[in-house]
Homo-oligomer: A and B are copies of this chain.
Amino acid sequence: MFDSDFADRFVQLLRWRRDVRHFAPDAVPEQDMHELLTCAALAPSVGNSQPWRFVRLRSVTVRDALVAHVDEQNALAAERYQGQERYETYRKLKLHGLREAPELLAVFCDEKPEAGHGLGIATMPEALRYSCVTAIHTLWLTARLRGIGVGWVSILDPAAVRAMLDVPADWSLIALLCIGFPQDEFDTPELERQGWQLREPLLDRVFER
């Protein structure tokens, strides 16, 4: 079903997927947003529990509150590098596009989903959260092949963001995503280009037992 041409282009998709923080102002067509969410829901999930809950941000007030919260958390995170050579590099990094991205999407995990009937989570309840991550990653790749960029913001207090978005107590925040057309396209990570962290050799990651 999948020939070597598809396989080659799939690797290109992986190579060109980026975490995007610089967005053009163009709106994401509604049809694209629909396709992104539809594809995300094809992701694997433990017990077929489909525990992902997608919250599209529409309110300008909530966006402003999120920006203020993340900027505050980022200032706190920066302090961890004070006195280190990396401090100035850190402060120069643009770590989110929450202000500019035309679409913000918060992804939550329902920690007590009815679907799946508890299969596969007796000992690893975190498999529910991992299922949500596969949905996010599916959305990310689906976006990229349409020329749409995604940025994952993790410099935030998940409980605070949950409260801002007023979602059920059993939902935990997995990711806050910025979605929109990237200003530029690169095949190397921004953190690599900015000298923060290079890609490491695969051999350092593979072991045998």
* Any B CB within 8 A of the CB of A112: no
A93: which B residues are within 8 A, CB to CB? 119
Q: How near does chain B come to A139, taking the closest CB pair, in angstroms?
A: 11
What residues of B have a CB within 8 angstroms of the CB of A9 in the complex?
1-2, 6
Interface string of A182-209 (1 = CB under 8 A from B): 0000000101100011111010011111
Interface size counted on chain A using CB atoms at 8 A: 96
Report the minimum CB–CB distance from A83 to chain B (whole Å).
14
A207 touches B53 (CB 8 A): yes
- On whether A205 and B174 interact (CB within 8 A), knowing A154-B120, A196-B119, the answer reads no
- A125 CA / B96 CA spacing, docked (Å): 18
Distance in angstroms between the alpha carbons of A153 and B197 in the assembled complex: 32
Complex contact B191–A7 (CB within 8 A): no
Bound together, the chains give a CA A73 to CA B62 distance in angstroms of 44
Q: Is the CB of A14 within 8 A of B1?
A: no
Neighbouring B residues of A13 by C-beta, 8 Å: 2, 10
Can you list 12 A-B pairs with a CB-CB distance of less than 8 A? A38-B202, A47-B191, A48-B189, A50-B205, A52-B205, A53-B207, A56-B207, A57-B209, A76-B122, A77-B119, A124-B154, A137-B137
